[in-house]
Amino acid sequence: METVWHFLAKNLKQDGRAVLITVVESIGSAPGRLGFKMALSATGGQFGTIGGGIMEFNLAQQWRASKLDEPNQLLQRIHQARAPEQERSGLICAGSQRLAVANLGPEDLDAVSALANAERTRKAQCFQLSQAGLSLIAKQTGPPELALTSATEWRYRETAGRPDMVYIIGGGHVGLAVSRALAPLDMRVVVCDHRTDVATITENRWADEILITPYEKLDELVEEGDHVYVVIVTTAMPFDAESLYRVIGKDLRYIGLMGAHAKLTRIFETLKKRGINPALFDKVRAPIGLLTHNHTPAEIGISVAAQIIQVRNA
């Protein structure tokens, strides 16, 4: 899948110039969320989004007209009709966002290529945007960060190559439906199941990876971090209990467990007997999903995806 870094690397090789516009701050009802990116090529190409609408159109036109030679700068865009004219975005959704605009040239190709490779290999690489341009820096942890020193001095740091990951434990009908619902969300989806001969696994073309593994091995396979989500939707209560036992102590952004209240109570009692601190049960979203009274796998899949979106954007 092409990303903004792949687009930039390709166009820098071909034309030597490109522009990267990044949302480095998003407040209120701004359509462009933190980390959104739009790239412009010297030949009129465009990739990605910073929120769309007239704001995005005007910025693209402005930088194309300047022949991509404007200095790097930080722009404030306020989505209100009464905002100062130079900061008015043309939108009226009442929020605001800051945009880092970086003009890239041949000297940036190595850094852009390294970031494209980081996303391809999923090996984290931190980068910095500032009034001085784009640079690679030592790996950092934590969310994207904007620091303002003065009106003209600023820096924004973010890590490429570390996509949000969803581990779906259970490759049955619900696991397939969750994979399908998550597919458009730019998240890496990994399905884990102990079976090899199940049609819903072999037919799953939405997951990025399928791991056939005993559930007892999940503690070795599931990564930790605030970018990791775990969805437990196996075929039987013992498998659910084993899966939860293996991941509940990990540092994860989200753990969801499918099941009715009676089943969930039995699972929690089983884990207590195995030595799990009951305080950890507060981490588990159970019953899983944002909506209630779901019946079909498709409804459950949409409900789980909606809850992950809610947690992701909180």
In a structure prediction context, what are the per-residue pLDDT tens digits for the chain, which is 314 residues long?
678 999 999 999 998 899 999 999 888 877 878 899 999 998 889 999 988 888 888 888 888 777 667 788 888 876 666 767 666 666 666 788 889 999 999 999 999 999 999 988 888 899 999 999 999 998 666 678 899 988 789 999 999 888 889 999 999 999 999 999 999 988 899 999 999 889 999 999 999 999 999 999 999 999 998 899 999 999 999 999 999 999 999 999 999 999 989 999 999 999 999 999 999 999 999 999 997 777 899 999 999 999 999 998 87
Among the residues of 133-275, which ranges form H helices?
173-182, 199-202, 218-221, 237-247, 261-273
Choose among 120, 118, 217: nearest CA to 167: 217
Q: How far apart are CA 45 and CA 40, in angstroms?
A: 6
Q: How far apart are CA 116 and CA 100, in angstroms?
A: 19
Domains and their CATH numbers in the chain? 4-160 (no CATH), 165-312 (3.40.50.720)
Task: Give 253-307 as a DSSP string.
Answer: EEEEE-S-HHHHHHHHHHHHHTT--GGGGGGEESS-SSSSS--SHHHHHHHHHHH
Question: Residues 100, 21: contact at Cβ < 8 Å?
Answer: yes
pTM: 0.73
Which SS3 state, helix, strand or coil, does residue 226 take? strand
Question: Residues 53, 91: contact at Cβ < 8 Å?
Answer: yes
